[in-house]
Structure formats: structure tokens, C-alpha cells
Structure 1
Amino acid sequence: MSVLRGGFSTKIHLLTDRRGLPLATVLSPGQRHESAFFSDLMDEVSVPRSRGRPRKRPEAVAGDRAYDATWIQRWFSDRGIKSAIPARKDLREGPGRPPTCDKQ
């Protein structure tokens, strides 16, 4: 019989382009929720261009359910960034809640 002991860990938040090339990275304590570091991650974005300075905003973002929060969707909307984030299972059903991600 083995005993597993919980402990502190570190999460790596990595934002990549569609080819998997890193655009931003943030480290956080493992016990904190991913969405708490959303703003820090998005502030680190650097989208390269063929000429000139890198862009600070992507055109679109895909994420997992951890980033399905009203304030995050509002953040994307305010900046004109398209998002594809599946609804959390506990909030999937609800009046007036438009889908942000289709099954495909």
C-alpha cells in the first residue's frame, strides 16, 4: 500500500499560437485557480509581426473551462477578441447564457 501526500506545487500557464509556439508564460502557485492569473497571462502576450513591434492582443483565444467566467468573457468582448471557451458543466444550462464554444 502506498501513501500519497499532498503538497504545494506550481502551475505553468502557457499561451501559444495555433502552431503551438509560446506567446506568453506565467508561473503560479498550484493551489490557486487558473482564472486568477488570466490577466497576468494576457498582459504578457507578444504576437510577432513580420515588421514592427509585436502586437499585445491576439485576434482569438481558445481556452478550457477554467476560463469560463463572466468577467473573462467581458474582457475579451471589450477588446474585440474572439473566444472559444466551453461552458463550465455547472453553468452550462441557464437562460440568457449564449454559447461561447461549439462542440467542434
Structure 2
Amino acid sequence: MSFSDAIKICFQKYMDFNGRAKRPEFWWFALFCVVVSLVLGMASSALSTLFSLATLLPSLAVGARRLHDTNRSGWLQLLWIIPLIGWIIMIVFLAQQGSSEDNQYGSTPAN
């Protein structure tokens, strides 16, 4: 999956908390959000905040779909609230390869 495909899919599925997302979809979108937020933050913290608010829902949705791909509940994103330990756990979960077979959250996502 290309960078632009991942961004497009994440914005198209901004309210879709069902199904599964492969690693490239999640990580390309995360990179996009971080880079744009940093660039906007250099210009204006208000612009960066506005962008962060605009991408909050798509970020939560792709995060839930990514966790679903590893056969975990999207509610585990609440671990982000726990400093350091929660962050490490979430990064490990999000970086793991998804299940290669269908799981309770749907069929294996297409490449």
C-alpha cells in the first residue's frame, strides 16, 4: 500500500471502527499526521491543534481497525492514557503482524 493510498483510505473510513487495517495503512497515516502536525506547529500552534482535532476521529478509527487485525479489541486504545507503559504496549500491539486468517473482526484485509 502506498503512502497516498493509506491517507485516502483513512479519510474515507474516518468513521469506520469495524474491520481490519494492515500495518502500512496505520503507520503511513500516523507518519502523515506527525509530519503535518510538526510543520503546522512551526507556523502556528492553533493550526496544529486544529489539524490534530480534525484527524482525531480518523486516527482512532484506523487504530481500532489495526488492533482488530491483531485480533484485539479497539478499546485497548485506552492504553494510550497510561504514560510510558501504555505507550510501549500500544506500539508493540500496533507493530505486530496481523492474523493471517479471518478473525472475529473480519477477513484478512487486501494488500
* TM-score relative to the length of structure 1: 0.31
- The structure with the greater share of residues assigned to helix is 2
* TM-score relative to the length of structure 2: 0.30
